[in-house]
Structure formats: C-alpha cells, structure tokens
Structure 1
Amino acid sequence: MDDPVTYYDEHDEAEWDRLTATLHGRLEWEGSVDQLEDGLPESGRVLDVGGGAGRYAVWLAERGYHVTLVDPSAGQRELAREKIAERDLGDGVTIRPGDVRDLDFDRDTFDATLCLGGPLSHVLDADERATAARELRRVTAPGSPVFASVMGRLHWLVLYLAAGTEHLAHAAELAESGDYDRAFVDRIDYDSAFTETHFFRAAEFEDLLGGVGFDVERLVGLEGLASVLSAGPLRDRTDDLSERQLAGVRRLVDELRDDRTVADMSAHMLAVCRA
C-alpha cells in the first residue's frame, strides 16, 4: 500500500479521467459542480486544496475565477499545468505544492475554498484532520463558502460485502474505525491497490467541520444510492444503460441528494460550509 503522495504521483492521468470515465465519476462531478454553481460568489479568488490534475481548477478558470491550486503530488501538479496550458488558462491559475494541514497563505485570503474528492480522507490522524479543517477555515474570508467532500464509510463496507472475499471477517473493524491504513491491510494480509484513507460517517464529518467553527449549511450525497454502480457486475452494466435509464438514475440521485441517510451511504459526501 502506497502513501497518498506516491499513489497519486503514479495515478495522475487516472485521476484526471476519474470524473468523466464512468457514470459513478460523472455523478460525483455533476453533484459537486451543482453545489459550486449554487454557492460560489460571482467572482474572486478561489483556493483548490488537493486539486490534483486540475479538473475543478479548469472549470473555475473558464468561468473567470482566479484560482490557486495546491497539491502535495508533483505528478498531479505537472499534469494540471499541462491541462491548463492546453486550454490557455495559465493567467487564471496558480499551481503550488501544499498540504491541507499546513496551507501557506495568510488568514482570510480567499473568497471561496474547495477541498474536493477526499483530501481530508487521506489525513489518517484525527488531530491532524482537525488541523486541516482549521486551515481551510483560516485561509477563507469570514462568511465565504467552503466546499469539502470526503469518502463515505458505509459505501466502502458495501463494496466489501459485494466482493464477498475472505476479508469480510474484518469488515466490522473497518466499520468501527474507518481507518483503511497500512496496519489494517497488513493484519488482513491484503495487497491493496488503493492508498491510506479514513472513511467518514456523516455525523463524524459534520462534527469535524463544526468543531473548528464552520457553519455547515448543507450535507449532500454526490453519488447517492447510485454509489452501488461502482461495484462488480453493476459497474460493468452501466455502459449499456440507455439515455432514458441514465436520466432516471440522475433524477433519483438528485431527488435524494439532501437525504441524510443517503448522504451517509454515498461514496462521497459533500459539505457546503461558511467560514
């Protein structure tokens, strides 16, 4: 199991493609963009923390925002530079190394902050997660929006059940802690293709944000009940869905997006906050 920086260095193109290559990824993207369109100011400086290969930075720059993307992965930052240059958006985007736990910016610098896709999920220590959340609030102007999404624990457990492997014996341990780390995979003797991650419950996520002073306005499930389409045979069938069926999936996800139980079951849950 690689550490997060090594993992994302080695999966740069895959991370760029992740939000468009599958229905599951597109639902995460579409749900996130819906929240950004509703909650971003009309203009201003936006920080994209853990912005990776630049999907959101490109989207923001195309709409006239002044974007600063920070990411600890050199591979992701290099790919982001390429994607931004291809679209002639270099004047609108600054790319810097950075870690969500220690953001090198003055207090109240940004008019909005993004932390999307799970950067907080890759901070395994609970105290460091609180530090990271405080950093997101510190660099964002008072009253300005912060959009943060994390990976959901219940969804990961559903994947365990769907896989039906011998590792089911350890599912309760993951349910209790949420920590999918090197110690866990060593105990179950598993060669993981993913990286170290803390998977969240909805109440835990809200407590983390509220505990550092955020006003959590909304918690939504990005993939919602359609999270199950990321697993096994169901995932393999999504390419065969008709346009009518795809529209039905999207309507279902949209209809239940604000349902708290659905958010807790989603592969990614997104909180819309005020600093």
Structure 2
Amino acid sequence: MSDSTDALEETQAFYDEYGTDEWDRLATGIDGELEFGETLDTLASALPSSGRVLDAGGGAGRYSQWLAARGHDVTLLDLSRGQLSVAVDRLNDADTDGDSDGGVDADSASADTVSTVSPVQGSITDLGLPANAFDAVCCLGGPLSHLLDEADRVQAVRELRRVAKPNAPVVVSVMGLLGAVQLYLLTGHNVAALPELLEHGDYDSALLDRHGYENEFTATHFFRRDELESLLATAGIDIETVRGLEGLASPFHADHIQQVGGELTDDERQALERVVTRTNDDPIVADLSIHMLAVGRA
C-alpha cells in the first residue's frame, strides 16, 4: 500500500470519527466565524445567482446548506461517510428542499440524485462526475491540504477544473503554513518540529515521530500563498484573487487568545471584523492566515 493511500485512509478514518466538530467549528469562536463569514462573502460575489454547484470535500455540509438556501442545485462530495451522515442530518433538519418528507439518504445518494443537495461519497482526486457539468466549483475548508502527495494535489485541481463549465468560478481554500507555524509558536505546540515543517509543509505522523510528538490531527499539507497560486495555475485555472480568511485574527485559534476575544464588547468585535476584512486581500496577510482562499476561473 502506498504512502498516499495510507494518508488518505488515515484522513477518512479521522473524519469518520470527527462527528459534528467540523460543523460546529465554523459557528464557534472568532476564528471559525471569520472563516465562515469571509468565505460566504466571497461566494456571494463570485458565484452566479443560480445553477449547479459542486461542493467538493464539503464534509458536514455547512457551505452546501447555504448554497442550497440561495437556490443552487448542489452536489456535496466527501470522502468521509461519517461527515456525509452529519450533513444529511443537518440538511433534513433545515428542510432545504421545502418538503418535510423530502430529506436525502446518504446510503442511496448518487451524482444523479434529484435534490437541492445531493450527497455523494468520493475523493477529490477522482470525482467520478461528468466534465463541464457545474456552473461553479468549490473546495472549501482545506480538503486539498489533506493530500500529502504533490501529484495527488495536482490531480485534484485538474479534476476541479475538468468538471467546471468553461469560465465557471473555482473557489478553493487551504490551510496556511505560516499561520499554522505562528499558532504553534504561540501555544508551544510541537515546537521542535516546526523548522522541519517550514521546509516542506507536511504535518504528519512521520514528522512528529521524529521529534517525539503524537499526531493529534491527521495528515495535513500546509500551503504558502505562492504554492497555492502555482498549483491552481498548473490546472489552467486563471486566478483572480487569493485572500486570507481569518487573516490578522488567526492567533484567535489559540485558546488563551480566544478567551480574550470573548471579553470584547460588541463594538470591539465589529472593529476586529472590519480590520480583518479590510486587510485580507493583502498578500502578506493571506500568507499568514490559518486559512487562505483563492478565486479563479476554469
């Protein structure tokens, strides 16, 4: 079994056991709310007003639910059966198709499911979906970051472009290397491994074992901004913008800084959000963000 297959199975097992944590993460704390809100603002401006949208690696379906509520016909694809089950539960709770009996079934879902949101189990490296089928393609929250093999990342972005209609928007977000290193420095987390992590961006058990640490997450490749731009360009995706999501507020991922955020007044919180929004387009800020987002055209 190849290292690439091992990493993929590790990631699938991790998210199968992750429960509602990914759903909850985007609605709790300054960091999660900023990532979600900034992503939604970008989608609102970049996507067409209607049409078919692929939410590739969409996990528990927060973005899919929002897209469906705006009238899009969404295909939600994810590797994890556990995350798709959470998505189905949340979609049924929200009743996005306007029919209390019109929920979706993860076990019977396929790419041909007639539903506002169609869950499909699959990998972003081999979508198994028709070419030129989608009016917009999204890959949000960092699915590309869970591909340690560069060849797999290249294959994945080629797949995203293949299923997009000509000139359709392709919106991708990944986990940022400098943001992660800064966070680990602030928290004293796995510090001995950070110089090596900076060299290649691969945060996995092999790296951590060499320094006597345990991997509490799953195999992750952290990106620099120029690396993300180069990756998308290899697939022929024309990049329009790369921006930070948490941006200057990325340190709020640290628990002790998150506590400070909880003490902000409403006015202070609004000021924080304005600062983040106004600076996220700065290339340096994007490179320092825990998550960065690119908008391009197929």
In structure 2, stretches of 5+ residues that fail to align are 1-6, 97-102, 104-114
Select which of 15, 26, 29 maps to 1:22: 29
Q: CA RMSD in A?
A: 1.3
**Separation of aligned partners in 1, 2:182 and 2:116:** 41
**Separation of aligned partners in 2, 1:121 and 1:109:** 25
**Separation of aligned partners in 2, 1:266 and 1:163:** 16
Select which of 169, 176, 195 maps to 2:199: 176
Query: Is the Cα–Cα contact under 8 Å of residues 67 and 93 in structure 1 kept in the other structure?
Result: yes
Query: Is the Cα–Cα contact under 8 Å of residues 162 and 232 in structure 1 kept in the other structure?
Result: no
1:224 corresponds in structure 2 to 247
Give the SS at the match of 1:53. coil
User: What's the CA shift for 1:198?
Assistant: 0.1
2:83 corresponds in structure 1 to 76
Give the SS at the match of 2:137. strand
Query: Is the Cα–Cα contact under 8 Å of residues 219 and 272 in structure 1 kept in the other structure?
Result: yes
Query: Is the Cα–Cα contact under 8 Å of residues 205 and 214 in structure 2 kept in the other structure?
Result: no
**Separation of aligned partners in 1, 2:135 and 2:244:** 24
TM-score by length of structure 1 reads 0.97
2:18 corresponds in structure 1 to 11
Name segments (4+ residues, structure 1) moved above 3 Å: none
User: What's the CA shift for 1:22?
Assistant: 1.1
| Structure 1 segment 1-275 matched on structure 2, within 5 A | 3-89=10-96, 90=103, 91-164=115-188, 167-275=190-298
Give the SS at the match of 1:263. helix
Give the SS at the match of 2:251. helix
**Separation of aligned partners in 2, 1:39 and 1:164:** 38
Tell me the alpha carbon deviations over residues 180-209 of structure 1, each in whole angstroms, 9 at most, x when there is no partner.
Answer: 012111111212211110000000000000
The share of aligned pairs that are identical, in percent, is 47
Tell me the alpha carbon deviations over residues 32-54 of structure 1, each in whole angstroms, 9 at most, x when there is no partner.
Answer: 00100001111100000011111
1:139 counterpart letter in structure 2: V
Give the SS at the match of 2:275. helix
Tell me the alpha carbon deviations over residues 217-248 of structure 1, each in whole angstroms, 9 at most, x when there is no partner.
Answer: 01010000000111142122221211011111
**Separation of aligned partners in 1, 2:183 and 2:72:** 37
User: What's the CA shift for 1:75?
Assistant: 0.6
**Separation of aligned partners in 1, 2:192 and 2:213:** 13
Give the SS at the match of 1:109. coil
Query: Is the Cα–Cα contact under 8 Å of residues 108 and 139 in structure 1 kept in the other structure?
Result: yes
Aligned length: 274
Tell me the alpha carbon deviations over residues 102-130 of structure 1, each in whole angstroms, 9 at most, x when there is no partner.
Answer: 00111101000110000000000001100
Give the SS at the match of 2:171. strand
**Separation of aligned partners in 1, 2:270 and 2:191:** 34
TM-score by length of structure 2 reads 0.90
